[in-house]
Amino acid sequence: DAGVIQSPRHEVTEMGQEVTLRCKPISGHNSLFWYRQTMMRGLELLIYFNNNVPIDDSGMPEDRFSAKMPNASFSTLKIQPSEPRDSAVYFCATAGGTGELFFGEGSRLTVL
Amino acid sequence: AQSVTQPDIHITVSEGASLELRCNYSYGATPYLFWYVQSPGQGLQLLLKYFSGDTLVQGIKGFEAEFKRSQSSFNLRKPSVHWSDAAEYFCAVGAEGGSYIPTFGRGTSLIVHP
């Protein structure tokens, strides 16, 4: 298996623009997590899906953030409009029921 | 609620020296415990995990960790550090059950001097 695949790896955009981050989970994994990592806050859980259903989105910072999982093989995290404070590395991770998380390589977002 | 504390933000060791990274957790029942490593520009990778049984667990890359219930700790150790071990290390605690959501510590940055 190719592992968790995230795109884009790097995104530079201007304040106010829409940003869409994508994740392809490992086949068969029924849990998917979106994390944000910054120096100030460390690793923050944004949202968690189980069997494509959002279970806990209490970590989503505000309404500008939204996440979807239309099927078992694809998820998106969208920021609209983006702000400089959204600059971070965003990770997608999946789990198959053993408790272990498998992380993608992350999407580094810079909002100017 | 579960929580994880990694008291050391940075640890510096010389290559070949032994290493111990500290992790303390707070959880009401028997936890699932994990150590992950993150190399620069990469995602987190599992080093080892504890679910039950033997409290000393072996992981990849020569790492081991010991679960001590009385101290609520799960410290990571390596007898001889290599320069390639320089990375960020995260301890995590999880819960048994359907709504598994792991909680991560803030991480410890390991610096290895030649």
Q: A57-92, pLDDT tens digit by residue?
A: 989 988 999 999 999 999 999 999 999 999 999 999
Residue B97, pLDDT > 80, answer: no
Decide: A99 and A31 in contact? Cβ < 8 Å: no
Q: Is B56 on the interface with A (CB under 8 A)?
A: no
Which of the pair, A13 or B2, is modelled with greater confidence?
A: A13
Decide: B14 and B82 in contact? Cβ < 8 Å: no
Taking residues A34-42, what's their average pLDDT? Answer: 93
Which of the pair, A31 or A96, is modelled with greater confidence?
A: A31
Averaged confidence pLDDT in chain B: 91
* pLDDT at site B2: 79
How would you classify residue B61: left for phi > 0, otherwise alpha for psi between -120 and 50, otherwise beta? left
A&B contacts, CB < 8 Å:
50
Q: Is A103 on the interface with B (CB under 8 A)?
A: yes
Q: How confident is the model at residue B57 (pLDDT cuts 50, 70, 90)?
A: very high
Q: Is B27 on the interface with A (CB under 8 A)?
A: no
Q: Is A100 on the interface with B (CB under 8 A)?
A: yes
User: Least CB-CB distance to A101: which of B42, B99, B102?
Assistant: B102
Long-range contacts of A97-102 (CB under 8 A, 24+ apart): A97/A30, A97/A31, A99/B32, A99/B34, A99/B49, A99/B51, A99/B94, A99/B100, A99/B102, A100/B34, A100/B46, A100/B49, A101/A33, A101/B34, A101/B36, A101/B44, A101/B46, A101/B92, A101/B102, A102/A3, A102/A4, A102/A26, A102/A29, A102/B46
Q: Is A30 on the interface with B (CB under 8 A)?
A: no
Residue B88, pLDDT > 50, answer: yes
Contact B46 A104 (CB under 8 A): no
Q: How confident is the model at residue B98 (pLDDT cuts 50, 70, 90)?
A: very low
* pLDDT at site B22: 98
Residue B24, pLDDT > 90, answer: yes
Contact A56 B51 (CB under 8 A): no
Q: How confident is the model at residue B99 (pLDDT cuts 50, 70, 90)?
A: low
